[in-house]
Each structure stands twice: as structure tokens, then as C-alpha cells.
Amino acid sequence: MNERPVATLAAELIGSLHAIVGRLEAALEPEGLSLAKFNVLRMLVAAGEPLPLGALAERSACVRSNITQLVDRLESEKLVVRADDPHDRRSIRAELTAEGRRRHAAGVRAIEAAERELFAGLPPKERESLLHLLRALQSPP
């Protein structure tokens, strides 16, 4: 007779996850970064080379126009530059600047500290469980 728990669960999940995002965002803020901007820098560092905007959109699981604007902002802060792709004149690649690398490094430090603090109260075994449970939610059998 109790239809409520499911709804309560969803609301709480969203609330908890929202709080986590907020903490990470707060950790990045002193470095002048947002999670969105940091993620773009992170992908560029991981790739080790300039990436076409479409690739960034794909890896971020977001729409292309979002990346256009995100890169606009990053470029206006001189963290990346837009560079032509010599092999495809439609394509534009985002390339890290030296300052972009520095900010990324600062971001990594900030976010790792925040994550250690965030997960400090959760033993590794329980972290595993949490991961499994969340994954179970995403792939309905």
C-alpha cells in the first residue's frame, strides 16, 4: 500500500548527489574553475593533444553547442586556444595553453583533496558497494 518509498528514494538520491557536486564545485571555485571547465581541461590533458570540439562534446555526453560556449569562456580566460585542424577545415581543435595546464594542475590538487575528505568516512569496501548499487540503477536488466 505504500507507494511513497520509491519517490522518497529518488528525491534523496538527487539531493545527496547534488550535495556532492556542490562540494566539488566549491573546492574548485578558489582556483577560478567550475566542474564544467575543469572537465574540459582534464580531457585535454588526458588526451595529450588538441581535441576537436566534437570529441569534447562526445566525451562530456553533452550537446555540441554547449562545448562551443564552454570553450569560448575557457578561451577568454586564456586556458585554451582554438586551433585549425590541418586535415579537416571544418574541425576546430581546443589546445591547452601553459596557463591552462597550470590551472588544471591546481584543479586536480583541489578536487583530490575534496574527494579524499568526502570519502574519508566511507571504507573502501563500502565505496565498492556504492559503485555497484549505482551501476545497477543505470543498467536495468
Partner DNA sequence: GCTGTATATTTCAGTCATGAACGAAAGGCC
Partner DNA sequence: GGCCTTTCGTTCATGACTGAAATATACAGC
Instruction: Write out the residues near a copy of itself by the rule CB under 8 A.
Output: 3, 5-7, 9-10, 12-21, 24, 35, 61, 111-112, 115-122, 124, 126-127, 129-131, 133-141
Closest to a copy of itself by CB, 83 vs 113, is 113
Does residue 101 bind DNA (CB under 7 A)? no
Q: Which residue's entry shows cell 565498492?
A: 128
Residue 52 touching DNA (CB under 7 A): yes
Which among 107, 84, 96 is positioned nearest to 45, based on CA atoms?
96
What, of DNA, a copy of itself, none, does residue 105 touch, CB below 5 to 8 Å by kind? none
DSSP result, 67-84: HHHHHHHHHHTTSEEEEE
Which are the contacts of 32, defined by CB distance < 8 A and separation ≥ 6? 77, 103
Q: Tell me whether residue 84 or residue 117 sits nearer to a copy of itself (CB atom).
A: 117
Q: Does 49 interact with DNA (rule: CB under 7 A)? A: no
Contact region for DNA (CB under 7 A) — 81-89, 101-109, 110-118, 123-131? 81-89
Closest CB to a copy of itself among residues 5, 30: 5
Q: What amino acid occupies position 132? A: H
Q: Which of 13, 15, 17, 68 binds DNA (CB under 7 A)?
A: 68
Q: Which residues, including other chains, have CB under 8 Å from residue 111's CB and lie 6 or more apart? A: 24, 27, 28, 38
In the complex, what is the shortest distance from the CB of residue 129 to DNA, in angstroms, rounded to a whole number?
27
Q: Does 71 bind DNA (CB under 7 A)?
A: yes
Query: Rg of the chain over CA atoms, in angstroms?
Result: 18
Tell me the C-alpha distance between 106 and 109, whole Å. 5
Chain centre to alpha carbon of residue 135: 18
